[in-house]
Structure 1
Amino acid sequence: MNNLNDPPNWNIRPDSRADGGGGSRWNYALLVPMLGLAAFRWIWSRESQKEIAKEREAYRQRTVAFQQDLEAKYHAVISENRRAVAQLSLELEKEQNRTTSYREALISQGRKLVEEKKLLEREWAKVMQERSQLQPLRSVYLSRLEEEEDWQRKARLMLKEVGEALAERQNIYCSLVTPRRSRLELEKNLLVRAAVDPVAADLEMAAGLTDIFKHDTYCGDIWNSNKRQNGRLMWLYLKYWELVVELKKFKRVEKAILEK
């Protein structure tokens, strides 16, 4: 763009013959007298307005392009921010739902623990009540158990003596030299004891002894000197009577407690 103080580019060709063909130009000092000052100002003003209009249009186009680029960037930023806000809103909603689920789970667990605590408290109160009710029965049980253990000791002693007598009876039965009357005498004494001994009578021992005397005919080797190698049925009966003694002890205790 030309400055207003610069002269316009006049399309005046110099005469090539004036300086012998050297191509020299007119200077501005010669143009003013020729055209007049008013004409020069008019031409200068016209060219300046064109340049100004051209620059103004170029400036307007640059301004419009800049505004369009700025608006495009603004809309892009707005769109990106909207996407970011939407994503954050979605994440926030998920987090809130997760937090709500955790809170509901904690509340449910808390209620469950409270219910379990109440149940345990009721069970504990029930146990303590039963314990207070059973305390007298416990005293009865221990007292009765002590009495029955005394009876059990007597029963075991009786069974030991009967077992030794049965072993001797079986040894006589298997002997080739001992008289038969010795065995019969021993059998008679065992049956009498079974009838008069309260513990033996309680065990109903007489029927078992009769069964042994009638059916236990087993003997060990002819050279056997161990009495426990003779007899089979007698040992089964002795084991059975030991179990009956144990069972009767607890049945007596049970009966005493139920009567209370």
Structure 2
Amino acid sequence: MNNLNDPPRWNIQPDQQGDDGGGNKWNYAFLVPMLGLAAFRWIWSRESQKEVLAAKIKYEEDAKLIKKELEMKYLSTVTETRRTVAHLELELEKERSRVKGYRDALVSQSRQLIEERKRLQEDRESIDREKQQLLRSGAAAALYNNLVERETNWQSKAMLVIKEFEKVLVERQNAFCSFLLHRDKRYEIEKSLLVKAATEPVAVDLNMESDLKTIFKHDNHCADILNTDKRKNGRLMWLYLKYWELQVELQKFKKVEKSILGTNYNAE
């Protein structure tokens, strides 16, 4: 059996006779590296903790800075958005007021044209009655027919002029309603119409230049966005075209009446 009081010889043993202290050398040879390794691990752990702590502090500072910048950007965006919304609401209110003004002006112009048309119709009926009276007399009837024929030729020429204006007005209104044509195209058409109205004798007699300016200012009616018929655009322009036609017919009979009255005066 093993004797526990007599263990085997290990490295760590007290000096014995005849051993020359060899056991102590081995003991210190292992102890010094172990102490060095422990010291290195302790120093490395401390440095790692410092680096982790420094990284954590830097991360928190960066996070706070980013959060502050985001909050400032958010507040700036909210402020700018509110300012934009307020500006758009103001512009919308202005546009509503402007549209209301245009609508009121258009209604007023329409009423005036309707009243003028009614007056022209009454004048026409009056002239028709006078015409019937003149037809009852033979010589007067012949004179009247000659004058009517002459003025009818003038009326035909005047109606051709109005048709030319109608064609260009349709193109002008199409340019106004189109999303593809630039406004310069419309301005060019309007300028040419005004020049023609100021130089064409029939247009001058009908005072078309002033009426055209009213159309350009107030006629903003456009048909549906999918509309392909140019003649469905515009509203005030069609009233004025009809008004000009009635004016031509009225002037024809007024010229006949003036000629007859002048002839009768000379005969007397």
TM-score (norm 1): 0.48
**Between Structure 1 and Structure 2, whose CA radius of gyration is higher?**
1
TM-score (norm 2): 0.47
**Larger RCO (CA under 8 A, 6+ residues apart):** 2
